[in-house]
Structure 1
């Protein structure tokens, strides 16, 4: 597709890159084609070919797409890694998928070098490395690999059913799992995520649009948006390499003229606390994914900019399964409706029967849906467990209302059962953070001798508030008004931070274990 765009709209800017120090650069679609083929030729000269696993570990970088597309062109499988990982995580991934090559940014080589001898990695390609200071056998630089290489490449004939990537799950429990996707994943993003999440279809005038997804290169969401929507539609997108700061990001929205933004709920929540009216933004769409988006930032952004953030739901294993897609009304707190053509539904936790409105069940997708992954890389026992029935069960719980809107209730492991009631943690958390005193919250079950369990809330307070019994009582009374009385947190603990995965999701399992230990002591 990139080659086709290079021929048709080669002078259109594909990537506008901006670094934290203000450096700017651009890559057209013709540039992307040339760069990816230079890298593909260089990889082939190094002995990298079809079926090889190529790990990559680099920040948002102007050469990110050239590296990824070049590796795909030779038929290799991409294995994305996040800069938030540790050396032991790199070691686990390299051994698990038997990767032979890693492309790593110069600033992150300390994550690779200590574990090389414990892995099958044979080649280390350093992005922005010093060519005069190689680190040893098998080490080279990206610049050396592409230097003098031709911009034409005659590689393997790849098809939709050829393997493309191994994206490791964030691992809220147990070891991360190697999720295998084939090249058709990109087609699904083009056919599903583009129109039903980003609002980009054949009627969109892409010359008037600038897309910005704030995700990093190591996450599946990078494939969801910058690769799967940005590149496959021929759009122009912004890539910013810098730490998140609300004022900086808002300034970028304004000065760069971003029209479609995809950010995570934490970023939207922090935006909502800023003086949004001070920024003259040109947004026509705001998208959210990663975890449910609370009502407060939706209402605040809608009030300030006239744009209603649209939540969407999916996983590393899928495309966007449920979205507030263009044309339907956004219900604050809802992830939307099942994306057309995907087949997402809510099944009883124990039976393969759809639940009634108002009941909590597990989000599931038929295993023959094109919207899901192609198994776990060389893990037949996991395939048997997850893909042997009629449905792929996501492990995420939801309920639906009479209009067919889905509402996230938590992970299947996170459900709270108190006196026979099934309580989803997100509803509790969503209501809590709507109180001015609460910046962030996590709800888990806490063992109770009479009720079996009660709702326990771990609360991070907003600036200017102090913990105490009076505030605890105030929050409990507030919650009784906001939710059904049996859902209010009978126990509240004020904390400075919450345990999270490397992708920013709350590890409620740690909090549950903590509660159990307290009960057993």
Structure 2
């Protein structure tokens, strides 16, 4: 069967954007199961699925059949250890096969996987394992001591499986020994719980976001758009496989379409290493945060033989110079910004073949998602140009989360009528482009003016003297609040009074006079979440 004729494939083969918005609908088969979608539906099960690159130079290729058989064995092994349908299983593994295999095994069983970052300290890891009630964990050797420190404080945790060498737990390989290679999938639907992803905590305590089996196919229309429709290729991201930005933006949608993904358990991001990986594996599509792109802009890309055809990016400002760099240095490769959140990812994006990107805009709503700018109190849609809260219709949308784990009241607090409120402020212009302003709770009110920090950060990042920036409001007796910027100077630059005055004038000239930062504090480094976002709420606490 041609994949394009298979109802299990999410197709976006329309002539134009308006037709796609009008004609597309979700039509997921009955008995939908993620593992079948990602592994078993492909006409060629021996096609490469995972191209594994180990830091020691080893290279391994896993086919869809390989991943299916290995995850079957793991599912059988976990069941023999008492893991049941609905149980939560933590995955604390970098970009290694064991990461994906654990997720796939859970979904085959009807269990719920729990992606967790290897960068978490004891407090962060312990909170998530305890809050989720995880009964088992598959943990990389690099987090051995952290797991040891928190396991006694997680009463539901019965099984810890170790990955790699010297992990001190039951070895992953031993768990699989003797397990059968066949496994009958649990009965599931697109609404069956599948995965809990914790928010980054950038605006409060991390919350467990419960998604169902339909979540990854829900990402596929956006994947088709920001990779410009021609999806046959090789995909890679340096982003941690613990976050929806890696798993949902790239890994699992690529497998939905039967395309290989490169796995690279890297440490700190190195732009030259990134170029080398992209060259070696002939990567055609990649998800790169803007911070990573800016680092890559400092390296001569012409020394690498690249096959890149499209880049998607999101999570922080995508400034105009990034688009210009891709046009000039990468031969016109599109860099398509996207918008989403852990609770409802990939709602808005760009697609150059359908409409031109506008620097600073997130793009247009993805087909299949009813995205609006509304009054958060009433849910009433606001006219073009007016700032309100970005919202998405919940019913029938597979990317919208089911609930906050153990926090039903919190789920209700972000719901108005049929809509999920994202907590992000933005506007919609006359041409249908969305413009992000700020988080609702990051809003600065100064002298009666409502100011979003994102806009000021975008301007400051345009200045050559700025590497990173976070903007917050600080109390002021006269104005209520004033704008304060915390600036990490660019390499080779130092914070000085001259640079401070230059930056203040730079913002004042590009934005309204009331938006310029009346205070600027220089720092060698700014606090970040594990996803790379500036933790604005921590800037005033250091």
Paired residues of 1:292 and 1:408 also in contact (CA < 8 A): no
Q: Please give the root-mean-square deviation of Cα atoms over the aligned residues, in Å.
A: 1.9
- After superposition, where does 1:255-274 map in structure 2 within 5 Å? 255-274=280-299
Cα shift readout 1:19-46 (whole Å, capped 9, x = no counterpart): 2232211101111111111111111111
Unaligned stretches of 5+ residues in structure 2: 1-36
2:291 alignment partner, SS class: helix
Where does residue 340 of structure 2 map in the other structure?
Answer: 314
1:355 aligns with 2:391: no
Aligned partners of 1:262, 1:52: CA distance in 2, in Å? 31
Say which is worse superposed, 442-451 or 68-77, in terms of deviation: 442-451
Paired residues of 2:484 and 2:518 also in contact (CA < 8 A): yes
| Residue among 355, 367, 370 paired with 1:340 | 367
Paired residues of 1:445 and 1:512 also in contact (CA < 8 A): no
Paired residues of 1:376 and 1:382 also in contact (CA < 8 A): yes
Where does residue 167 of structure 1 map in the other structure?
Answer: 197
Where does residue 406 of structure 1 map in the other structure?
Answer: 434
Cα shift readout 1:247-274 (whole Å, capped 9, x = no counterpart): 1111222232111111111101111222
Aligned partners of 1:20, 1:354: CA distance in 2, in Å? 51
Where does residue 367 of structure 1 map in the other structure?
Answer: 394
Quote how far apart the aligned CAs of 1:60 are. Answer: 0.8
If the length of structure 2 is used for normalisation, what is the TM-score? 0.88
Quote how far apart the aligned CAs of 1:279 are. Answer: 2.8
| Residue among 327, 340, 359 paired with 1:302 | 327
Unaligned stretches of 5+ residues in structure 1: 515-521
Quote how far apart the aligned CAs of 1:237 are. Answer: 1.4
Where does residue 507 of structure 1 map in the other structure?
Answer: 535
1:246 aligns with 2:271: yes
1:121 aligns with 2:157: yes
- After superposition, where does 1:40-439 map in structure 2 within 5 Å? 40-119=75-154, 120-129=156-165, 135=168, 139-190=169-220, 192-200=221-229, 204=230, 206=232, 209-243=233-267, 244-305=269-330, 306-326=332-352, 327-370=354-397, 371-387=399-415, 389-439=417-467
Paired residues of 2:224 and 2:231 also in contact (CA < 8 A): no
Aligned partners of 1:294, 1:256: CA distance in 2, in Å? 28
Q: How many residues align?
A: 501
Cα shift readout 1:412-459 (whole Å, capped 9, x = no counterpart): 111111222211111111111111111111111122222222221111
Quote how far apart the aligned CAs of 1:384 are. Answer: 2.2
Cα shift readout 1:473-502 (whole Å, capped 9, x = no counterpart): 222222222223322222211111212222
1:455 aligns with 2:483: yes
Quote how far apart the aligned CAs of 1:324 are. Answer: 0.9
Aligned partners of 1:98, 1:396: CA distance in 2, in Å? 30
Paired residues of 2:379 and 2:417 also in contact (CA < 8 A): no
Cα shift readout 1:215-261 (whole Å, capped 9, x = no counterpart): 21211223303443121111111111212101111122223211111
In structure 2, the CA distance between the partners of 1:156 and 1:95, relative to structure 1 (3 Å rule), is same
Aligned partners of 1:472, 1:129: CA distance in 2, in Å? 50
Q: Which has the higher contact order (CA 8 A, sep 6+)?
A: 2
Where does residue 486 of structure 1 map in the other structure?
Answer: 514
Aligned partners of 2:539, 2:102: CA distance in 1, in Å? 40
Quote how far apart the aligned CAs of 1:388 are. Answer: 5.3
Aligned partners of 2:528, 2:392: CA distance in 1, in Å? 27
Aligned partners of 1:219, 1:12: CA distance in 2, in Å? 26
1:184 alignment partner, SS class: coil
Paired residues of 2:249 and 2:346 also in contact (CA < 8 A): no
1:23 aligns with 2:55: no
Paired residues of 1:54 and 1:99 also in contact (CA < 8 A): yes
Paired residues of 1:457 and 1:491 also in contact (CA < 8 A): yes
Quote how far apart the aligned CAs of 1:155 are. Answer: 3.9
Where does residue 39 of structure 1 map in the other structure?
Answer: 74
1:475 aligns with 2:503: yes
1:320 alignment partner, SS class: strand
1:472 alignment partner, SS class: helix
If the length of structure 1 is used for normalisation, what is the TM-score? 0.91
Quote how far apart the aligned CAs of 1:178 are. Answer: 1.0
